[in-house]
Amino acid sequence: MAYKVIYNFSDGTTDELDGEIYETYEEAEREAAQAASDFSQGGDYLREAGEDYCEATIVDWDIIEV
């Protein structure tokens, strides 16, 4: 089986972000948590630099079998 991650944002939108496919559910879960952290940190850096950034935050994610 293979899995992909669908991110749910605070503004009600969803996205696959990187569109990666993972071999195990555990790998997908691990990568989802890391990507959510990276997305948040990237927004912080952009905000501090005065650059445009996505104001929505990742509130959770769904892992689906593909």
The pLDDT, as a whole number, for residue 43 is: 83
Amino acid identity for residue 23 in this structure: E
pLDDT tens for residues 1-60? 999 999 999 999 999 977 899 999 999 999 999 999 998 888 888 888 998 878 899 999
Using CA atoms, how far apart are residues 30 and 38, in angstroms rounded to an integer?
A: 12
- 58: containing domain: 3-65
The pLDDT, as a whole number, for residue 44 is: 85
The pLDDT, as a whole number, for residue 61 is: 97
Q: CB of 14 within 8 A of CB of 61? A: no
Q: CB of 13 within 8 A of CB of 34? A: no
The pLDDT, as a whole number, for residue 19 is: 83
